[in-house]
Amino acid sequence: MPKYYGGIEAGGTKFVCAIGNDIGEILEETRFATTSPTETLEKVVVFFEQYLNEFPLESIGIASFGPVDLNPDSATYGYITKTPKPGWSDCDVAGVISRYFGIPIGFDTDVNGALLGEYRWGAAQRIENGIYLTIGTGIGGGAIVGGKLLHGLVHPEMGHMRLHRDIERDPFSGCCPFHEDCFEGLASGIAVRQRWEQKPEALSPDHPAWDLEADYITQALHILICVLSPQRIVLGGGIMNQSQLFPLVRHKVLDSLNGYVKHTAILNQIDTYIVSPGLGNRAGVLGAIALAIEAEKL
């Protein structure tokens, strides 16, 4: 008897809903613009409801834009909390879906969802300790530790690590409203566009923007390797569509670590240590389905 799971990729711009199974196949899918919470969640409900006879769901996973409350003991667990997105502050996304369908709900950040999808079906399979970084408009990161998503006090905010900026080389002071020149402030798509006054995708592959970008990504990876000791690092997001960044970053990470972390996975196999996602543009919604599968097991 096959099992079916619902996945909701809840993005600030668009929602993607899908029905999938436990081998990562997508059976039905829809996508629509994120408007008001009422209208958007109504569309989510209508989508799953029309298939309930054909595909009865075990559980639903929600991989959401943030900030979100992931503390199961909190009164606002499952909420999108304070967001600048109009209408969405204090929105009980998981609660609405849970009350309507009455089945287990998995709820996590979009990046944790994507990581879990990569862990189950993509580039981080059989990796008990891995990292997923999305470097796009913003920068987010998630970690698997001992085969489980890292949560902690809140959840990781890897985009907000402080990095070293050489002011002479990079006078751009950073775009993060909280920390100015943190990782996101220096290396996100917004930072690249503001620094070079061009859209990132308009910069040629040999533009100096990319060497600087690779340096910041390298600093972040050096730190993450020292803190989390991951077995693999997956780099996704729009900026990483600049595929020339991968060899640059791999080379610079080896230089930066300077032989200190003595493991063959880094010293001799850097090409399979720092990798691109395996699930491509289905990563978000497959991640949500992976969250549903985790929720069913609980």
Which listed range, 16-24, 83-91, 255-263, 283-291, lies at the site for a copy of itself (CB under 8 A)? 255-263
CB of 8 to a copy of itself, least distance (A): 24
* Residue of 117, 138, 141, 284 interacting with a copy of itself (CB under 8 A): 141
Rule CB under 8 A: is residue 99 a binding residue for a copy of itself?
Answer: no
State how far Cα 264 lies from the chain centre. Answer: 27
Does residue 52 interact with a copy of itself by CB under 8 A? Answer: no
**Sole binder of a copy of itself in the list 258, 281, 297, 298 (CB under 8 A):** 258
83 binds a copy of itself (CB under 8 A): no
Would you count residue 254 as binding a copy of itself (CB under 8 A)? no
Dihedral pair phi/psi, residue 69, rounded to 5°: -100, 115
Note whether 3 binds a copy of itself by CB under 8 A.
Answer: no
In sequence order, the 6+-apart residues with CB closer than 8 A to the CB of 167 are: none
- For residues 39 and 90, which CB has a smaller minimum distance to a copy of itself in the complex? 90
Residues that bind a copy of itself (rule: CB under 8 A) add up to a total of: 48
Interstrand relation of 232-236 and 148-149 (parallel, antiparallel or unpaired): unpaired
Best CA proximity match to 105, nearest among 77, 80, 81, 132: 77
Please choose, out of 28-36, 234-242, 251-259, 277-285, the segment that lies near a copy of itself by the rule CB under 8 A. Answer: 251-259
Q: Which residues pair with 98 in a beta bridge?
A: none
Binder of a copy of itself out of 93, 175, 224, 291 (CB under 8 A): 224
For residue 171, give every residue at least 6 positions away whose Cβ sits within 8 Å of its Cβ, in sequence order, or none: none
Residues 6+ apart with CB under 8 A from 214: 245, 248, 249, 252
Neighbours of 13 (CB within 10 A): 9
Task: Tell me which residues in 201-220 interact with a copy of itself (CB under 8 A).
Answer: 219
**C-beta closer to a copy of itself: residue 63 or 133:** 133
For position 267 contacting a copy of itself by CB under 8 A, the verdict is: no
Site for a copy of itself contains 45 (CB under 8 A) = no
**What are the angstrom distances between the C-alpha of 13 and each of 35, 40, 97, 184, 190?**
8, 11, 19, 19, 16
For position 223 contacting a copy of itself by CB under 8 A, the verdict is: yes
CB of 91 to a copy of itself, least distance (A): 16
- Please, which residue, 8 or 139, has the CB nearer to a copy of itself? 139
Tokens read off for 235: 């780099």
What number of residues does the chain have? 298
DSSP E strands: which ranges in the chain?
4-10, 14-20, 26-33, 57-64, 105-109, 130-135, 139-145, 148-149, 232-236, 274-275
Q: Using CB under 8 A as the criterion, what x/- string covers residues 152-191 for binding a copy of itself?
A: xxxxxxxxxxxxxx------------xx------------
Report d(CA 52, CA 194) in Å as an integer.
Answer: 47
**From the CB of 140, what's the least distance to a copy of itself, in Å?**
11
Binding site for a copy of itself (CB under 8 A): 67, 81-82, 129, 141, 143, 145-146, 148, 150-165, 178-179, 219, 222-231, 256-263, 265-266
